[in-house]
Structure 1
Amino acid sequence: MASNSICSRCLRQALHSTNRSLHLSHRAFASSAAKQQPPSQDRKIHQATRQRAPAVEAAAQQQSTPAGGPPYPDKRGRQADKQHAQEKERRILLQPNNLFHSFTRSPAPEIRKRAQFMRKNAYCPHPDHQPTRAPASPDDLEARKTGSLPPAHVQHECPDCGVPVSCSADHFADDYASHLEICDLLRQINEDDHDLHSGRFFPEFEYPPPQIDEAQVNLTNWDTLLYSREFNAVNEERSMRQVTRLLTYPITVGSILHELSPYGLNDRLLPEGLRSLSALRYTMHPPRTGAGIDIKGLRPNPPPVRLFILGARAESSLPREVWIQLSHLFPRASFHLIFIGPESMSNRDDEFPLPERTPQNPFGAIVEDRLGGQMKISTYVDYFHTLHDAQHFAPYDPYFDCFVLFHPGLGHPASSHEWVETLPQLLSTKVPVICTGYTDFDMERDIAWVKEHSRGEADLLMRPGENRFRSLRWDMNDLDPGDVSCGNFGVWAFRGKRYEADEYRGKKEEEGPGSGGWDR
């Protein structure tokens, strides 16, 4: 039958819409329907929709679209496609070759808001202005201010980097030589920030799953790590900067604690540091015990390794997939990450209000369990010395515990008072403390502060130096556009001094130097 070329729904609608008599032959109806419907689009109207199908004549009229346009069944379909195209244009703000924009006139509202904050809080670094604060380092531009002009907020943007850096065009031109030292970095920061708000898909943020035990990881540098861990190929420098900005936190810790660590006795690690790290590596790289899923394969599992991250800020709000990469470096060990600090819930507004303090949870900890099967995360919005006085984490074990301080500012004038009570408690645990810093001056200032306040009760485990897994992306301080830094630039470590008991064999004539390592 010729009527088989039309679906039953359309045939029913056609029969109801016509007033022809029932004795009309099926062949005549099929020929009339074929004249109304274009031969090239004979099946376009037969689409599954929630509404009733229109008549054959109306559908044939709605199929007449401009040349090259998609054949829509009704006007609502064209409007939906137009809205989808507009949403796609709004979502994709910038293209890879169009990432440089002025902060004030940026297409991203978040960056425009950031520029407004800088104009209200950042001050012009020109030497003719009066100082607004004490210099933080010898390279701080605030140390140059010896003039009599009152402080003024930044209003003029550099045309080369697009960042507000001066109060006026005259001061910008007068101090242009000093700005040239960081202009290229500020432009790179500008483009990286716009790249994050461009709406593009970020394949570099897709992290690999665990590997087989036979595949060894290479911790020489970022390139060898990403290759040996089978990350997606990162072929652009900007994508490399974006991915290392997040991974620098777990990989910095893992690169020091791993048995294949690039840091050894020939590279900044001291004998006391090797002793402390060997204890942790013994736990994090356990021997195979022949465990299985049956009764005969039952084996006792060691407790998880506790990493106390004190003064936690941005690292506590990282995506959990980032921290799980730490457990992938140690497939036969489990971890318990403990974020402690009054700012440990920053950028985590979705989890507020905090849990109530109950006898079962006296400090209102936020617990995230079974992350990847090998990791647990707890967050305490409190100071460590408060938890330590309550013996909340006691006892401490050098085989299972380690402290991590990301940019703690131990010697910074604005934050050193917060660590005065915490430092003696850290030294009393005899557990290694890994610290990072923004610059060499920042680390040297922290080491001098620890050496002064420890009064000889601390051992240096690792000499300060550049971190192999520092963030390759540079960040700008919104309160001072001339202050640029990168996350975890340098790393060093210390621990409370340990006294070894030995048999007394008489007084020695000459006492040898200790192994503290501060003067090495």
Structure 2
Amino acid sequence: MPNGGSALRQRSSQQEIPTRSAESPHDLESRKTGAQPPAHVRYECPDCGIPVSCSEDHFVDDYESHLEICDILREINEDDHDLRSGRFFPEFSYPGPQLDEAQINMTNWDTLLYSREFVAINEERPMRQVTRMLTYPVTIASVLHELSPYSLKRGERLTVEGLKSFSALRYTLHPPKSGAGMDIKGLRPNPPPVRLFILGARAESSLPRAVWMQLAHLFPRATFHLIFIGPDSMANRDDEFPLPERTPSNPFGAIVEDRLSSQMKISTYVEYFHTLHNAQHFYPYDPYFDAFMLFHPGLGHPASSHEWAETIRPLLDTKVPIICTGYTQWDMERDMQWVQDTVGGEMDILLEPGENRFRSLRWDLNDLDPQDISAGNYGVWAFRGKRYETQMREDS
């Protein structure tokens, strides 16, 4: 009977055209090789409450494979209902600045939230909700912090080139106490802010600013300038439309938020990075003060790789670290393979791809395909343009 059900499931799936590109060889969409248009999904699973099949007969045929993700789909459904339940969310109350004497622990989510003195979270659902947003600033901090869980030890994925690049940034992010004071004798020169270029920005650009301020609290003696860049960087920010006019003083119509705090400034550009790079808008780049962050960029995805084709070489030309995340292990490996195929001889790996210790604990559902689930910032890796060391030649 199992073999017969498997054969029937294979025949029914092969009759339809795929609704999207398969994300991996294990993706259920890869089974669809037919010529019929895909049927509308309307039958809800009685266990998870999410429509997953076009009819009860197809649901029964595919029940064995659905069981692999049924519990996760139910969890996603319950988390979505929880956000709309109207309850009070104490987990979204974020702590303020960190005391110098109170050291943080970046081993995992539990130790970080405890050492940052978050409100105690004793249930899994509130933990999933709070990590869904905090994963963006904390992922950046987990790579750049001097107490980063990624190191040269076996299995911790940092490479020698990565240690060189990240040590330069850590030197800036953890400056020694300068003895500055409020009077004239206490005046000290301050270094420029660390610029974090967040390319292909989408949902992360509309996060509450209190979430991004957590990044500044993790580096109490540093200042930041977050720069969101991308054609979708103003998505979900309709209250700020229309965009500023492009003037000689603001040639790319940047939206600047400089009243957040003395530690952080945010700028948003609805533009492609290679356009800004070719105009030398951000020159010069400094490995001690600059880094790029790409959240789920889809470098190797068939639908978005063409948009990165003009951007990847300008990125490598900056010679500063480029940190990337992915929805799944397959998504990361596909992005990395695309970079290696495109500019393989011009880049160095700084952080080997692997699971992000500070990934979102909440799973997300693709609205266009209920079988496609992923986790925000599931994995993280990093690279940069290759640096060539000067060698002295001794004439014989």
Would you say same fold, with TM above 0.5?
yes
Greater relative CO, 1 or 2 (CA 8 Å, sep 6+): 2
Matched, 1:129 2:18: no
CA displacement at 1:326 relative to structure 2: 0.1
Among residues 123, 143, 150, which one is paired with 1:256 in the alignment? 143
How far residue 268 of structure 1 moved from its aligned partner, in angstroms, is: 0.3
CA offsets per residue over residues 359-403 of structure 1, 9 Å max, x none? 111100000013132000000001000100111000000000000
Secondary structure in structure 2 of the residue aligned to 1:201:
coil
Offset of residue 190 of structure 1: 0.4
Dislocated runs of 4+, deviation >4 Å: none
Tell me if structure 1 keeps the 8 A contact 2:17–2:35.
Answer: no
Structure number, greater radius of gyration = 1
Do the aligned residues in 1 keep the contact of 2:139 with 2:356 (CA within 8 Å)? yes
Q: Which residue of 2 is the match for residue 389 of structure 1?
A: 278
Aligned to 1:100: none
**Displacement after TM superposition at 1:143 (Å):** 1.1
Amino acid at match of 1:245: R
Residues of 2 paired with 1:506 and 1:414: CA distance? 53
Code of the residue aligned with 2:218 in structure 1: it is L
Matched, 1:244 2:131: yes
Distance 1:214 1:404 in 2: 29
SS of 1:232's equivalent in the other structure is coil
Deviation per CA, 1:264-314: give whole Å up to 9, x if none.
Answer: 001100000000000000001111111000000000000000000000000
1:473 and 1:304 map into 2 onto residues whose CA distance is 32
Corresponding residue for residue 67 of structure 2: 180
Counterpart-to-counterpart distance in 1, 2:395 and 2:336: 36
- Give the aligned residue type for 2:370: P
Q: Structure 1: where are the runs of 5+ without partners?
A: 1-124, 508-520
Where 1:370 maps in the other structure, the secondary structure is coil
Partner of residue 7, structure 2:
none
Query: 1:511 maps to what in 2?
Result: none
- The letter of the residue matching 2:243 is L
Q: Where in structure 2 are the equivalents of 1:268-287 lying within 5 Å?
A: 268-287=157-176
- 1:145 equivalenced with 2:39 (yes/no): no
Mapped to 2, the partners of 1:504 and 1:150 lie a distance apart of 66
Please say if 1:304 is aligned against 2:193: yes
CA distance in 2, matches of 1:334, 1:411: 33
Alpha-carbon offset, residue 150 of structure 1? 3.6
Equivalent in 202, 205, 210 of residue 97 of structure 2: 210
1:45 matched to which residue of 2? none
CA shift at 1:445, angstroms? 0.9
Counterpart of 2:113 in 1: which secondary structure? helix
Query: The residue matched to 2:142 in structure 1 has which SS?
Result: helix
User: For the residues of structure 2 that align with 1:303 and 1:224, how far apart are their CA atoms?
Assistant: 31
Pairwise CA distance, 1:440? 1.0
Kindly state the Cα deviation for residue 128 of structure 1 after the two structures are TM-superposed. Answer: 4.4
- 5 Å-filtered alignment, 1:289-300, equals 289-300=178-189
Structure 2 residue aligned with 1:473 = 362
How far apart are residue 148 of structure 1 and its match?
A: 5.7
Of 178, 184, 206, the residue aligned with 1:317 is 206
Distance in structure 2 (CA, Å) of the matches to 1:454 and 1:203? 46
Within 1, Cα distance between the matches of 2:361 and 2:180? 41
The alpha carbon displacement at 1:452 in A equals: 1.3
Aligned length: 383
Structure 2: gaps (5+ residues)? 1-10
- How is 1:91-490 mapped onto 2 (pairs within 5 angstroms)? 127-132=13-18, 133-147=20-34, 149-266=36-153, 267-490=156-379
SS of residue paired to 1:345? coil
Does the 8 A contact of 1:428 with 1:496 survive in 2?
yes
**Could you tell me which residue of structure 2 aligns to residue 85 of structure 1?**
none
**1:493 counterpart SS class:** strand
The one-letter amino acid of 1:234's match is: I
Q: For 1:433, give the aligned amino acid.
A: I
Superposition CA RMSD, Å? 1.3
User: 2:275 is matched by which residue type in structure 1?
Assistant: T
Q: Look up the SS of the partner of 1:436 in the other structure.
A: strand
From 493, 499, 504, the counterpart of 2:388: 499
Contact 1:363-1:380 within 8 A present in 2 as well: yes
Identity of matched residues, % = 76
Partners of 2:268 and 2:332 in 1: CA distance: 26
Task: Tell me the distance in 2 between the aligned counterparts of 1:424 and 1:360.
Answer: 28
For each residue in 1:14-67, what CA deviation from the matched residue of structure 2 results, as whole angstroms up to 9, or x when unmatched? Answer: xxxxxxxxxxxxxxxxxxxxxxxxxxxxxxxxxxxxxxxxxxxxxxxxxxxxxx
User: What amino acid is aligned across from residue 255 of structure 1 in structure 2?
Assistant: S
Q: Counterpart amino acid of 2:84? A: H
- TM-score, normalised by the number of residues in structure 1: 0.72
How many angstroms apart in 2 are the aligned matches of 1:459 and 1:212?
36
* TM-score, normalised with respect to structure 2: 0.95
Contact (CA 8 Å) 2:231, 2:272: kept in 1 or not?
A: yes
Contact 1:126–1:175 (8 Å) recurs in 2: no
In structure 1, what residue type is equivalent to 2:122?
N
Task: Note the C-alpha offset of 1:147.
Answer: 4.7
CA distance in 1, matches of 2:14, 2:295: 36
* Contact kept? 2:23, 2:330, Cα under 8 Å: no
Deviation at 1:245, TM superposition (A): 0.1
C-alpha separation in 2, matches of 1:126 and 1:157: 18
Cα distance between partner residues in 1 of 2:76 and 2:361: 11
Give the superposition deviation at 1:212: 1.2
Deviation at 1:182, TM superposition (A): 0.6
What's the CA shift string for 1:407-452, capped at 9, x where partnerless?
0011111100001110110111100000000111111111111111
Counterpart-to-counterpart distance in 2, 1:383 and 1:212: 39
**1:126/1:166 contact within 8 Å kept:** no
- Check conservation: 2:205, 2:234, Cα contact below 8 A: yes
1:125-151 Cα deviation digits (max 9, x unpaired): 951432234423212111112456542
